[in-house]
Amino acid sequence: MSAALMKMWISFASMGFMFISILFIYLSRFKLKGFLKIIITILAYLFMILAGIIILFVVLSGPVNE
């Protein structure tokens, strides 16, 4: 698998993390209460931070020359 294709799949994983975090934030704000709400909120923000770090890595690593 080429480096460019690998970067594409990594960026797709990051977008998936963003989608999961959106779902978790929705659940924690409107559907959950108590201790579970806090746990899901922490997970959502961790997924969002991880997605941001991955996208930052993909963007700053520059174009792939083969």
**40 phi and psi angles, rounded to 5 deg:** -65, -35
What pLDDT is recorded for position 65? 77
Query: What is the per-residue pLDDT across 12-61, written as a single tens digit (0 to 9) for each?
Result: 999 999 999 999 999 999 999 999 999 999 999 999 999 999 999 999 99
| pTM, rounded to two decimals | 0.85
Please give the pLDDT value at position 25: 96
Quick: pLDDT tens for 4-21.
899 999 999 999 999 999
- What pLDDT, on a 0 to 100 scale, did the predictor assign at position 66? 66
As a residue count, the chain comes to 66
The mean predicted confidence, pLDDT, of the chain is: 93
Q: What percent of the chain has pLDDT over 90?
A: 85
Distances (CA, A) of 45 to 2, 8, 14: 31, 23, 13
